[in-house]
Amino acid sequence: MRISNILLLLAFLLVSSISSADTASEKQAERLLETMNVDQAFEQTITQMLDIQLQQNPKNGTQLFPYPKNGAQLFP
């Protein structure tokens, strides 16, 4: 009984050390993404893809963007 408790304690300690390593890895990955300005690149990619889709089929522009780009134009 005592040996199983010790093994269980060791298993919990091992799991907790692994999970803290994951947290450190996540922080490093987040820092890397921030350094590379991935959020800006992602927005640029989305804009480029929408522009390409609109060039290929301009009729979809009214379906994708039924409202003017400038929100102030919605209210007279």
Domain ranges for the chain? 1-35, 37-66
User: What are the tens digits of pLDDT across the range 5-57?
Assistant: 777 777 777 776 665 556 788 888 889 888 988 888 888 888 888 888 878 88
From CA 14, how far away is CA 71, in angstroms rounded?
55
The C-alpha atoms of residue 54 and residue 60 are separated, in whole angstroms, by 6
Look up the pTM and report it: 0.47
Q: What share of the chain is helix, strand, coil (3-state, %, to 5)?
A: 80, 0, 20
39 CB-near residues (< 8 Å, 6+ apart): 33
